[in-house]
């Protein structure tokens, strides 16, 4: 499906894979990116720092997100902003899908 030409459902644009983290870049521009992720239960991204602000929208499942030592539990329908240059990590409490919007 080419989502630039027709309406789509976020959940149907990316599928879970057992024991994996799957990503799909939807938009890549000089000023930012939009990427879909699907995390299987127990999977995650280790702590890292990004030079840009990032908005995370959870649209399926549940995730733990740690930002600068503070832990947040997010479920479907919730958003959080991970500020630039602050260490953060993500872990799937249960499998989850998210939309990541990075602004440069």
- CATH code of the domain containing 39: 2.60.120.10
Q: What domain range includes position 69?
A: 10-103
* Residue 50 within a domain: yes
Digitized pLDDT (tens) for each residue of the chain, 104 residues in all: 456 666 678 888 999 999 999 999 999 999 999 999 999 999 999 999 999 999 999 999 999 999 999 999 999 999 999 999 999 999 999 999 999 999 98
How many domains is the chain built from?
A: 1
Q: Which pLDDT does position 59 carry in this prediction? A: 97
* Residue 5 within a domain: no
* Residue 2 within a domain: no
Nearest one of 36, 41, 31 to 64, comparing CA atoms: 41
* Residue 3 within a domain: no
* Residue 41 within a domain: yes
pTM given for the model: 0.91
* Residue 1 within a domain: no
């Amino acid at each position: 499906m080419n989502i630039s030409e027709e309406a789509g459902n976020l959940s149907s644009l990316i599928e879970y894979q057992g024991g994996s983290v799957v990503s799909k870049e939807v938009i890549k521009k000089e000023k930012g990116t939009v990427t879909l992720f699907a995390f299987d239960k127990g999977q995650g991204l280790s702590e890292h720092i990004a030079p840009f602000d990032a908005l995370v929208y959870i649209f399926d499942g549940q995730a733990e997100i740690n930002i600068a030592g503070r832990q947040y539990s997010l479920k479907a329908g919730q958003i959080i902003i991970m500020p630039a240059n602050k260490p953060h990590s993500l872990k799937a409490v249960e499998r989850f899908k998210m939309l990541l919007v990075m602004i440069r």
